[in-house]
């Protein structure tokens, strides 16, 4: 628990964590807040100012007579490169240290062409966007990437990702890190969506579940305001929970009865085709729902109920205060939310649902890219990282 203070640079991290809320503070306030000796504080402030992590923020009124200099966090000190890669679509951004998007780009991709091609294109896009914002590689403090499959977060490598041939075990952080000389953090897409939504829209929520209903189904889990990744980074993988309504359906994972096999976008498209309606994928399903196709609307509402049935149990177990619903199927409208709510409120325990909010994502398709940036910012401003960075400077 006592992580700051393991070396002679202790204190830089503490200062940044205090100042990052944006409010300028005087030396006297910082001594009071940190308990650091005044001489130590001055050393740390000098080091942070010389590297522009903080700026002297004009003069603040002190309690004594003469005005005191205040110091403020410089969110423009560095930039973050963030990417949310899906199976067929990518969203890429450059943000400042406050998570604000400075430049943004989205494109069609084919993640199944393998890591070299996909990351090569990402690398070129990052370079172009950096140039476009007038920054250089030296300004990059970190790179965050979300991938559409399981990732071992500690190594940043995909682990048997079902829709990403060629990516299993690929060293994404080393590949990108050697090109930007900065730490690279990788996680799966729903984890970064949960991070982004929590950070931008619901920072005061302690326990949150972000469920993505797209081609597949998965969720990101926030416990005590921190991402719960689980022992193997596999937490939130609810798409393959067995549901009784699907016992005659074989899932792409090889098992029968998976939630995804009845309620995922690919499954809904297949059901529509079986009914003679043309639908290749989840996007076609959404198009049909928006166009008022009765069968599609009926299917999507039933999908909401199926997902709700699984979430009803999870609500009893986890007792979140908010369930955020995202992914393209969910964005298709209120039908999915209605189905979810119908089942969760009738099946979960009253104590667990009395203050439970079930709502659509506020960030929509930006949740992932914002979360990828937040993942990097949290890492860069974490106790050990900042202090070490000053020790090796």
Q: Which residues 289-328 are close enough to bind a copy of itself by CB under 8 A?
A: 310, 312-314, 316-321
Q: Which stretch binds a copy of itself (CB under 8 A): 66-74, 185-193, 280-288, 345-353?
A: 345-353
- Contact pick of 67, 162, 230, 364 for a copy of itself (by CB under 8 A): 230
349 binds a copy of itself (CB under 8 A): yes
Those residues with Cβ within 8 angstroms of residue 104's Cβ, 6 or more apart along the chain or in another chain: 91, 92, 93, 94, 369
Residue 232 in the binding site for a copy of itself (CB under 8 A): yes
Spatial neighbors of 23 by CB under 8 A, at least 6 apart, are 72
CB nearer to a copy of itself: give 163 or 297: 163
Q: Which residue has the tokens 């403090």?
A: 141
Region of 111-119, 120-128, 331-339, 352-360 interacting with a copy of itself (CB under 8 A): 352-360
What's 242's DSSP letter?
B
To 10 degrees, what angle do helices 27-34 and 12-19 make? 110
Cβ at position 142, least distance to a copy of itself in Å = 19
β-pairing verdict for 79-85 and 140-147:
parallel
- Residue 250 found at the interface with a copy of itself (CB under 8 A): no
Query: Would you say 159 or 360 has its CB closer to a copy of itself?
Result: 159
**Residue pair 10/387 in contact by the 8 Å Cβ criterion:** yes
Task: Decide: residue 125, CB within 10 A, 0-12 exposed, 13-18 middle, 19+ buried.
Answer: middle
In degrees, rounded to 5, the angle at the alpha carbon of residue 128 between the alpha carbons of residues 85 and 393 is 90
Residue 282 is inside which H or E element, if any?
A: helix 282-290
Q: Which of residues 21-80 bind a copy of itself (CB under 8 A)?
A: 32-40
Show the binding pattern over residues 179-218: x = contacts a copy of itself (CB under 8 A), - = does not. Answer: ---------------------------xx-----------
3-state SS class at 357:
strand
Report the distance separating Cα 367 and Cα 210, nearest Å.
10
Q: What residues numbered 85-114 form the site for a copy of itself, per CB under 8 A?
A: none
Interface residues with a copy of itself (CB under 8 A) are 1-2, 4-6, 8, 10-11, 14, 17-18, 32-40, 150, 159-160, 206-207, 219, 221, 223-224, 226, 228-238, 240-242, 244, 253, 310, 312-314, 316-321, 347, 349, 351-352, 354-356
């Amino acid at each position: 628990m006592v992580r700051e203070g393991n070396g002679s640079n202790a204190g830089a991290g503490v200062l940044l964590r205090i100042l990052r809320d944006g409010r300028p503070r005087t030396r006297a306030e910082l001594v009071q807040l940190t308990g650091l000796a005044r001489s130590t504080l001055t050393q740390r402030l000098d080091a942070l100012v010389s590297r522009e992590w903080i700026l002297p923020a004009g003069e603040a009124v002190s309690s004594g007579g003469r005005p005191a200099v205040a110091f403020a966090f410089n969110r423009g000190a560095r930039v973050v490169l963030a990417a949310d890669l899906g199976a067929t679509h990518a969203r890429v951004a450059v943000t400042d240290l406050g998570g604000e998007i400075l430049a943004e780009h989205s494109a069609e991709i084919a993640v199944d062409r393998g890591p070299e091609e996909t990351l090569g294109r990402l690398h070129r896009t990052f370079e172009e966007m950096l140039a476009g914002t007038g920054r250089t590689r030296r300004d990059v403090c970190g790179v965050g990437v979300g991938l559409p499959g399981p990732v071992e977060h500690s190594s940043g490598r995909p682990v048997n990702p079902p829709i990403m041939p060629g990516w299993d075990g690929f060293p994404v952080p080393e590949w990108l890190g050697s090109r930007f000389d900065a730490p690279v953090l990788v996680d799966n897409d729903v984890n970064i969506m949960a991070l982004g939504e929590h950070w931008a829209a619901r920072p005061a929520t302690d326990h949150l579940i972000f469920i993505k209903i797209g081609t597949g189904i998965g969720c990101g889990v926030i416990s005590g305001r921190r991402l719960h990744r689980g022992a193997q980074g596999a937490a939130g993988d609810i798409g393959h929970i067995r549901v009784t309504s699907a016992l005659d359906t074989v899932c792409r994972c090889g098992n029968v009865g998976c939630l995804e096999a009845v309620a995922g976008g690919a499954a809904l498209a297949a059901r529509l085709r079986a009914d003679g309606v043309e639908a290749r994928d989840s996007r076609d399903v959404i198009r049909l729902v928006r166009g008022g196709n009765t069968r599609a609307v009926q299917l999507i509402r039933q999908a909401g109920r199926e997902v709700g049935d699984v979430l009803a149990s999870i609500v009893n177990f986890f007792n979140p205060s908010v369930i955020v619903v995202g992914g393209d199927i969910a964005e298709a409208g209120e039908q999915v939310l209605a189905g979810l709510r119908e089942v969760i409120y009738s099946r979960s325990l009253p104590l667990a649902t009395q203050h439970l909010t079930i709502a659509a994502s506020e960030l929509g398709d930006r949740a992932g890219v914002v979360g990828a940036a937040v993942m990097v910012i949290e890492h860069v401003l974490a106790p050990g990282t900042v202090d070490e960075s000053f020790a090796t400077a």
